[in-house]
Amino acid sequence: MVKLRRMREADVLGVMEIETRVSPAPWSYGIFSDCIKVGYDAWVYEDSEEIIGYGLFSIGVDEAHILQLAIKPERQRQGLGRKMLTYFLGEIALTKVKSAYLEVRISNEHAFELYQEMGFKLMGQRKDYYQTLDGREDALILEYTF
């Protein structure tokens, strides 16, 4: 049974296994570990004690930033990303912030479509924001208004 729970330090290796598969420039073990230590909202999807997805967000004074949201490739397109994002937006709404922001690779059409379906609006583009295997890639900046 799939369940969403808070990420623990012991989960970072499982998170890294997914991160290295879904990102050409993966976050390091230390970045994930530091995010947990400083108190970012960090979550994992677990299925029979196997980590199949993860996400992190941070809350500022008037805005939130969704930093990561990833599902294991073979478990994508099953609604898990949508459920996690719905949960995140619900938690963020409780804080009374005005907006939530995220960046998405311009090539990640499935994620962009999901974010639009969930009510995110395109705000702009960051040139060469993401590293790729052979250079840089632009990011789309999206905003969700509460």
Respond yes or no: is residue 54 known to be catalytic. Answer: no
Annotated catalytic residue, options 54, 115, 130, 144: 115
Place of tokens 């690779």: 105
103, 130, 137, 144: the active-site residue:
103
CB 125 within 8 Å of CB 141:
yes
| Catalytic annotation present for 103 | yes
* CATH number of the 2-145 domain: 3.40.630.30
Q: State the Cα–Cα distance between residues 72 and 81, nearest whole angstrom.
A: 10
Per-residue pLDDT of the chain (146 residues; tens, 9 = 90+): 899 999 999 999 999 999 999 998 899 999 999 999 999 999 999 999 899 999 999 999 899 999 999 999 999 999 999 999 999 999 999 998 999 999 999 999 999 999 999 999 999 999 999 988 889 999 999 999 99
pTM of the model: 0.93
